[in-house]
Amino acid sequence: MSGFSERLSALRRGAGMTQAELAKKLGISKSSVSMYECGNREPEFDLLEKMADLLQVDMNVLLGRGEPLVNNDPELTAYLEALRDRPEMRALFRLSQNATREDVETAVTILEALRSKHEDT
């Protein structure tokens, strides 16, 4: 399962979860999540399935058999870095995942108005 630990950690962070939050949702201890992410332990198949479902990825991606997490698109890389480095961006992304298209468009309009207001001052 080479690379699994890095993928799990990246997907967890991308979902905006701490190790403790992931552990609670999986019904395991935080130390187990830590051991999986450090590569000191490997989960059983049923837990892998649960992880993939919870992180909303195909199990093959979690195992490194699917789409890579790294992309050569500079714009996408910038977005991923913002999600990684800015908790408020992760919160905004999480909220938008289940929003309707109209809700997202309304939010974009509001954010553009706020940005314009700050540029005028």
Q: So what's the pLDDT on residue 71?
A: 58
Q: Where are the domains of the chain?
A: 4-62, 74-120
CA–CA separation, 62 vs 59, rounded Å? 5
pLDDT tens digit sequence for 52-81: 999 888 888 888 776 555 556 677 777 877
The 8 Å CB, 24+ separation contacts for 29-32 are none
Give the model confidence (pLDDT) of 9-53 as tens digits: 988 888 889 999 999 999 999 999 999 999 999 999 999 999 999
Give the pLDDT confidence score for residue 1 in this predicted structure: 47
Class of domain 4-62: mainly alpha
